[in-house]
Amino acid sequence: MGKYSLLFLPGDGIGPEVMAEVRRIVDWFSSRTELAFDVSEDLVGGACYRVHGVPLHDDTMAKARAADAVFLGAVGGPEYDGLDFSLKPERGLLRLRKEMDLFSNLRPAQCFDALADFSSLKKNVVSGLDIMIVRELTGGVYFGEPRGIHREGNERVGINTQRYTESEIARVARTAFDLARRRGKKVCSMEKANVMESGILWRDVVTEIHADEYHDVELSHMYADAGAMQLTRWPKQFDVIVTDNLFGDLLSDLAAMLTGSIGMLPSASLGAPMENGAPRAMYEPVHGAAPDIAGEGKANPIACILSFAMALRYSFDAGGEANRLEAAIADVLSEGLRTADLIGETGSKPVSTSDMGNAILAALDRTSTR
């Protein structure tokens, strides 16, 4: 088996700290399994702006397109608030998503048993929770034209456009149905067809794709606001949720918090297959740069490490190794290890980012001697 090329883009805030832990996990898999990885690193976001004056360099964009998988830490920070919109750190991330055509963003919300008490919802509502949000990632109001701020008479007007083509809806719907086939065989599609024409089209296209290709999967529809309510009321009613870029942004933060901490949630952004059959892919934690705790060793590396587990599954055809990594994380959590985000009011002592990494590596070592 050849070496897989990984491009690491640690970015800003806690990005570099959590990515350093992923690097150690990748090295572990390189030295202890059949898998081999070649890791290179580059700049994105504010870190790139400080060196190159742009949030993403063209050379980095080219490397990202050539890599077997890209891993992104986080972008953004208050020091970049005053920058021109086109230079903001987030633009680097959005350019990567758009130019790699990563149209399907998979955001699982799984509740680890050891953390069921930590959710803001009652334990019986979240324990055993395992849902997958599929967020459309390269269309909708994030990219639609016209957009901008202009002057009309004596005041300014801000404009963004929600725009979806049938093919954009169809391809992300297929991702959701294909995933559901391998899981609980249920898809719930969320939009606002009661208010938005793009929502009416969304519902029509998802319904057509289902009728033509996916009889074995159960399809339901919900308005996105009701979906948010149902996600907090009884999230276990869902298996796969498919929704647009903006609703997916909101609903995935909500779903993340059901599991106890946004520091736990990974994501995979997938595009069309490359020459070797694997999808073009970028993996990132759902959490952001958390500048308030950056550099203090307080960040939870689990979301980022779980993103590598997703890469094992979706990019490297190594589902068994992904399960092994997820089991190691579950082990460490049931031993009681907690980073600061998972401590809450309990008053117990948190472990550092690298201690959490050490513990996960030790748990992996145990799996290979069993």
Where would I find the H helices in the chain? 15-32, 46-52, 58-66, 89-99, 123-126, 166-181, 197-213, 224-233, 245-258, 302-314, 319-334, 353-369
Tell me how far apart the alpha carbons of residues 316 and 308 are, in angstroms, rounded to a whole number.
10
Residues between 350 and 369 with contacts to Mg ion, criterion CB under 5 A: none
Helix (H) or strand (E) holding 126: helix 123-126
- The angle, 0 to 180 degrees and rounded to 10, between the axes of the packed helices 353-369 and 302-314 is 40
Q: How far is the CB of 288 from ligand IPM (least distance, A)?
A: 6
Burial of 225 (0-12, 13-18, 19+ CB in 10 A): middle
17's contact among Mg ion, ligand IPM, none, with CB below 5 to 8 A by partner kind, is none
Cβ–Cβ < 8 Å for 241, 227 = yes
Should residue 355 be labelled a site residue for ligand IPM when binding is judged by CB under 6 A? no
Cβ–Cβ < 8 Å for 261, 300 = yes
Tell me how far apart the alpha carbons of residues 207 and 190 are, in angstroms, rounded to a whole number.
12
> Is 253 noted as a catalytic residue in this protein?
yes
> Is 355 noted as a catalytic residue in this protein?
no
Q: How far is the CB of 92 from ligand IPM (least distance, A)?
A: 10
Cβ–Cβ < 8 Å for 353, 23 = no
- Sequence length of the chain is 370
90's contact among Mg ion, ligand IPM, none, with CB below 5 to 8 A by partner kind, is ligand IPM
Q: How far is the CB of 75 from ligand IPM (least distance, A)?
A: 6
Q: How far is the CB of 5 from ligand IPM (least distance, A)?
A: 24
> Is 101 noted as a catalytic residue in this protein?
no
Should residue 321 be labelled a site residue for Mg ion when binding is judged by CB under 5 A? no
> Is 365 noted as a catalytic residue in this protein?
no
Residues between 69 and 108 with contacts to ligand IPM, criterion CB under 6 A: 90, 93-94
- Residue 45 in tokens: 């976001």
Catalytic residue among 4, 49, 80, 142: 142
The Cα-based distances of 319 to 174, 242, 310, 324 in angstroms read 21, 23, 9, 9
Q: How far is the CB of 333 from ligand IPM (least distance, A)?
A: 24
- Site track for Mg ion across 238-267, x = CB under 5 A: -----------x------------------
- Site track for Mg ion across 173-202, x = CB under 5 A: ------------------------------
Secondary structure class of 90 (helix, strand, coil): helix
12's contact among Mg ion, ligand IPM, none, with CB below 5 to 8 A by partner kind, is none
Should residue 249 be labelled a site residue for ligand IPM when binding is judged by CB under 6 A? yes
Catalytic residue IDs: 142, 192, 225, 249, 253
Chain residues that interact with ligand IPM, rule: CB under 6 A: 90, 93-94, 249, 288
The footprint of Mg ion (CB under 5 A) covers 249
